[in-house]
């Protein structure tokens, strides 16, 4: 709906050429019509608020529109001529885009029929209609999302039976015993809050009979309402569907969580809530964020086009998304990574509205309303500054990793029963073989994963095991203790991680050579390498355990140098050993010569070994030759074995000859556990 002033502007606007039109004679007139429900006035007022400029514009200032041919118009604000005209113009403007958008008919019909003046929160009937339209569009028209396996799935061990909108039976916990199939929704959320609703050995029989709605936190209650509105009877929530005080049930079910999210018809993402009391629904003004459909003149033609403020677009290269660069609470949790990555369809309830991501499309209430997933990935601009946890980066990275490794695009003739074949997508053009792509992506994933919060550090392996299991199965790769063993080269590349700080070790969770053996965030300098060449020979590799804990050793043969921890706590390279028995001659390398990154704090005079494992270049320069070397120390409690205590890189020429009098490289066979 447009007010009569904006309607007159629309009738006079010719978007085929540049023009200047008065829009509203007074800013207070624009505000009044915004409150009355004019979509264009509300859009402009909201954008001024987003710029925190509402107090800069006097009520008697006029709103002027300058059109940009075939693109839209810019609204600026000027005082009337009698007030001094241009001399008092203010530096505030609103960029409005007018364009024809590709939107599937089923979705455009819903948007056109909505009463946006009544759509004041994300739990409204309008919001449910939009979400239902997205789901229906995916189920009816996305063959890549809807293979027979994806639509006929075994239910988890336990699910919540929510009844339906028409027949709201008592909510209860249903034990399927692995013998039921059907569709279900999974919930991805942050734990915490005041509610103590969780399944224990004691509450299990109570919940099987009935789950009292009064004990449910708001996020769970909202998820039940969404499931009913979407017509899906079953819901999976971790804290209610896993027996929390049964170690056996917890480990068994936790190891299946990846499969549960992958098999869910859709995952509801409670992105903005920091705990389960926050709820899924938030107040919002759809008039200010959703584009409005209007008839616009282009020369001699009239066309239907969508009008929206540029800063409300979710398209990355066109908008900084304002406050949306701030990390969302859900993206700060390690367990949630596999929930994001393994869910084939995600319905996100965020701070400003709802959105959808599947393997084919990205839908949003904001412009451009619909975008192919591949285009969404490609639209990520290298020039956009991102922040840790930035939804722009997170959403695109998840879509890209899904596209490459979790749901690789099979050609339609394969889905129909033809010959095997996959279509792969990569933005990085500088990688060499497919293994380079995979190790780079895995490195990015582990960096993201370890940067997130984890209540119990001992969950380090099991909380990512679902992702590893799916990739291992689809790519026929062996995985153990956080490391891939698809080839000897891939195995060695998996050792090239570094700790972001020196911290406690988790050697009861994983061997020292695994990134899961360190509590802190892990960087992965090795995953930046391209053209990697393995130089260490693998004599043996033996590892065993469960999804939660692993133990094992790797024996390598390669060139090595000796090192030592100095009195100041820094690691140095021993270039010459004195026969007199005095302290060896050690040097701390300049950063251009080498970088040593210890995993933990070690006492002075600790003897070190630098074991060369490979060489390569760095992808952001593609010129420097680097030697990758693990930093080791002998384990006195296990004679004949070493522990990894760090990672290092060296300029190749310096590594071979650090000084004129340096001793030659030794060849060693070392076992690391």
Single out the residue of 135, 283, 162 nearest to residue 221, CA to CA: 162
pLDDT for residue 358: 93
pTM of the model: 0.85
Query: Is the separation of the CB atoms in 277 and 221 below 8 Å?
Result: no
Q: How many CA atoms lie within 13 A of 511 on its CB side?
A: 28
pLDDT for residue 479: 93
Each residue's pLDDT tens digit, 325-355: 566 788 888 999 999 999 999 999 988 789 9
- Alpha-carbon distance of 505 to 642, in angstroms, equals 15
pLDDT for residue 407: 85
Q: pLDDT confidence of 92, banded at 50, 70, 90?
A: confident
**pLDDT of 577 strictly over 70:** no
Query: Is the separation of the CB atoms in 347 and 128 below 8 Å?
Result: no
Q: What is the DSSP letter of 338?
A: H
Instruction: State the average pLDDT over residues 526-530.
Output: 59
pLDDT for residue 149: 53
pLDDT for residue 426: 47
Q: What is the DSSP letter of 404?
A: I
**pLDDT of 630 strictly over 90:** yes
Q: Do β-strands 479-480 and 422-423 pair in parallel, antiparallel, or remain unpaired?
A: unpaired
Quick one: tokens of 587? 């040097």
pLDDT for residue 328: 77
SS (H, E, C) 144-175: CCCCHHHHCCECCCEEEECCCCCCCCCCEEEE
Query: Is the separation of the CB atoms in 279 and 273 below 8 Å?
Result: yes
pLDDT for residue 385: 40
pLDDT for residue 623: 60
pLDDT for residue 353: 86
Instruction: State the average pLDDT over residues 4-29.
Output: 92
Q: pLDDT confidence of 161, banded at 50, 70, 90?
A: very high
pLDDT for residue 155: 95
Q: What pairs with residue 64 in β-bridges?
A: 22, 76
**pLDDT of 120 strictly over 90:** no
- Alpha-carbon distance of 331 to 280, in angstroms, equals 15
In Å, how far are 302, 366, 503, 625 from 225, measured between CA atoms? 42, 24, 44, 58
Neighbours of 71 (CB within 10 A): 15
**pLDDT of 416 strictly over 70:** no
pLDDT for residue 543: 93
SS (H, E, C) 463-481: HHHHHHHHHHHHHCCCEEC
DSSP conformation letters of 557-590: EEEEEEEEE-TTS-EEEEEE--TTSS--EEEPPP
More confident residue, 389 or 630: 630
DSSP conformation letters of 232-292: --EEE-HHHHS-TT-HHHHHHHHTTHHHHHHHSSEEEEE-S-SSTTS-S--B--HHHHS-E
Say what percent of the chain tops pLDDT 70. Answer: 85
Q: pLDDT confidence of 7, banded at 50, 70, 90?
A: very high
pLDDT for residue 321: 39
Q: What are the start-end ranges of the H helices in 355-508?
A: 373-378, 391-401, 412-415, 434-451, 465-475, 488-493
Single out the residue of 145, 152, 161, 140 nearest to residue 227, CA to CA: 161
Instruction: State the average pLDDT over residues 568-573.
Output: 89
Number of helices (H), then strands (E), in the chain:
20, 31
Each residue's pLDDT tens digit, 643-665: 999 999 998 889 988 887 777 88
Query: Is the separation of the CB atoms in 481 and 516 below 8 Å?
Result: yes
pLDDT for residue 315: 59
- Alpha-carbon distance of 27 to 7, in angstroms, equals 17
Which range among 158-162, 183-187, 192-196, 459-463 shows the weakest confidence by mean pLDDT?
192-196
Q: What is the DSSP letter of 623?
A: -
Instruction: State the average pLDDT over residues 607-612.
Output: 96
Q: φ and ψ at 348, to 5 degrees?
A: -100, 130
Q: pLDDT confidence of 84, banded at 50, 70, 90?
A: low
pLDDT for residue 427: 45
Instruction: State the average pLDDT over residues 572-588.
Output: 71
Q: Residue 605: which H helix or E strand, with range? A: none
Return the residue matching tokens 């095991």.
465
- Alpha-carbon distance of 37 to 31, in angstroms, equals 10
Q: φ and ψ at 644, to 5 degrees?
A: -75, 130
Q: Write down the mean pLDDT value for the chain.
A: 85
pLDDT for residue 430: 46
More confident residue, 196 or 528: 196
Return the residue matching tokens 């920091």.
274
- Alpha-carbon distance of 551 to 672, in angstroms, equals 11
Vertex 533 angle, CA 529 and 535, to 5°: 125
Q: What is the DSSP letter of 101?
A: -
User: Residues near 88 by Cβ (< 8 Å), separated by ≥ 6?
Assistant: 78, 79
pLDDT for residue 389: 55
Which range among 25-34, 129-138, 386-395, 478-487 shows the weakest confidence by mean pLDDT?
386-395
Each residue's pLDDT tens digit, 197-226: 899 999 999 999 999 989 999 999 999 999
Which range among 487-491, 571-575, 588-592, 623-627 shows the weakest confidence by mean pLDDT?
623-627
pLDDT for residue 66: 92
pLDDT for residue 523: 85
- Alpha-carbon distance of 629 to 612, in angstroms, equals 4
Each residue's pLDDT tens digit, 423-479: 444 444 444 444 567 887 888 889 889 988 888 899 999 999 999 998 888 888 899
Say what percent of the chain tops pLDDT 90. Answer: 47
Each residue's pLDDT tens digit, 362-414: 898 888 888 888 887 776 655 444 445 556 667 777 888 888 888 877 654 44
pLDDT for residue 432: 46
More confident residue, 234 or 194: 234
Q: φ and ψ at 628, to 5 degrees?
A: -95, 130
Single out the residue of 284, 243, 248, 244 nearest to residue 124, CA to CA: 284
Query: Is the separation of the CB atoms in 659 and 646 below 8 Å?
Result: no
pLDDT for residue 433: 44
pLDDT for residue 391: 61
- Alpha-carbon distance of 111 to 292, in angstroms, equals 9
Instruction: State the average pLDDT over residues 266-279.
Output: 92
């Amino acid at each position: 709906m447009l007010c009569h002033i904006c309607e007159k502007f629309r009738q006079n606007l010719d978007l085929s050429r540049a023009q200047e039109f008065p829009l509203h004679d007074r800013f207070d007139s624009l505000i009044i019509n915004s409150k009355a429900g004019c979509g264009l006035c509300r859009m402009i007022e909201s954008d001024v608020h987003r710029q925190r400029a509402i107090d800069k514009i006097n009520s008697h200032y006029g709103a002027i529109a300058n059109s940009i041919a075939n693109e839209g118009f810019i609204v600026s604000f000027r005082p009337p001529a009698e007030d001094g005209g241009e001399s008092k113009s203010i530096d505030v403007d609103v960029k409005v885009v007018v364009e024809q958008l590709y939107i599937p008919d089923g979705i455009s019909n819903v948007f056109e029929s909505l009463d946006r003046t009544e759509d004041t929160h994300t739990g409204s009937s309008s919001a449910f209609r939009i979400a239902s339209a997205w789901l229906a569009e995916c189920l009816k028209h996305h063959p890549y999302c809807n293979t027979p396996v994806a639509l006929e799935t075994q239910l988890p061990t336990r699910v919540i039976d929510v009844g339906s909108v028409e027949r709201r039976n008592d909510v209860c916990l249903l034990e399927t015993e692995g013998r039921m199939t059907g569709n279900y929704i999974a919930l991805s959320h942050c734990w915490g809050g005041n509610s103590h609703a969780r399944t224990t050995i004691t509450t299990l029989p109570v919940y099987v009979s009935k789950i009292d709605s009064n004990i449910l936190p708001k996020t769970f209650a909202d998820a039940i309402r969404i499931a009913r509105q979407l017509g899906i009877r079953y819901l999976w929530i971790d804290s209610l569907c896993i027996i929390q005080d049964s170690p056996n049930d917890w480990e068994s079910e936790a190891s299946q969580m990846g499969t549960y999210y992958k098999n869910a018809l859709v995952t509801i993402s409670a992105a903005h809530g920091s705990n389960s009391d926050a709820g899924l629904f938030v107040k919002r003004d759809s008039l200010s964020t959703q584009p409005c459909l209007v008839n616009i003149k282009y020369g001699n033609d009239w066309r239907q086009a969508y009008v929206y403020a540029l800063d409300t677009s979710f398209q990355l290269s066109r908008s900084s998304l304002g406050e949306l660069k701030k990390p969302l609470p859900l993206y700060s949790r390690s367990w949630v990574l596999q929930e994001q990555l393994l869910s084939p369809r995600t319905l996100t309830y965020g701070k400003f509205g709802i959105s959808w991501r599947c393997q084919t499309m990205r839908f949003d209430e904001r412009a451009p309303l619909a975008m192919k997933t591949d285009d969404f990935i490609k639209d990520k601009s290298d020039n956009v500054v991102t922040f840790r946890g930035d939804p722009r980066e997170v959403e695109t990275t998840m879509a890209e990793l899904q596209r490459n490794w979790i749901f690789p695009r099979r050609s339609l003739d394969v889905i129909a029963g033809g010959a095997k074949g996959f279509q792969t997508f990569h933005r990085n053009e500088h990688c060499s073989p497919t293994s380079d792509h995979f190790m780079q992506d895995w490195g990015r994933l582990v960096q993201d994963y370890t940067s997130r919060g984890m209540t119990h550090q001992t969950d380090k392996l099991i909380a990512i095991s679902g992702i590893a299991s799916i990739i291992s199965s689809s790519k026929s790769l062996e995985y153990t203790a956080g490391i891939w063993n698809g080839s000897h080269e891939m195995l060695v590349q998996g050792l090239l991680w570094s700790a972001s700080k020196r911290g406690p070790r988790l050697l009861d969770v994983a061997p020292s050579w695994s990134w899961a053996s360190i509590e802190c965030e892990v960087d992965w300098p090795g995953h930046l390498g391209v053209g990697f060449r393995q130089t260490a020979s693998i004599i043996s590799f033996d590892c065993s355990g469960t999804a939660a804990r692993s133990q094992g050793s790797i024996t390598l043969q390669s060139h090595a140098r000796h090192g030592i921890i100095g009195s100041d706590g820094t690691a140095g390279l021993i270039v010459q050993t004195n026969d007199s028995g005095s302290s060896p001659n050690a040097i701390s390398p300049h950063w251009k010569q080498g970088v040593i990154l210890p995993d933990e704090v070690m006492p002075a005079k600790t003897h070190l070994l630098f074991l060369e494992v490979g060489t390569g270049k760095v992808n952001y320069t593609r010129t420097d030759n680097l030697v990758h070397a693990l930093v080791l120390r002998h384990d006195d409690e296990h004679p004949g074995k070493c522990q990894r205590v760090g990672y290092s890189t060296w300029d190749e020429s310096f590594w071979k000859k650090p000084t004129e009098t340096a001793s030659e490289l030794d060849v060693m066979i070392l076992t690391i556990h």
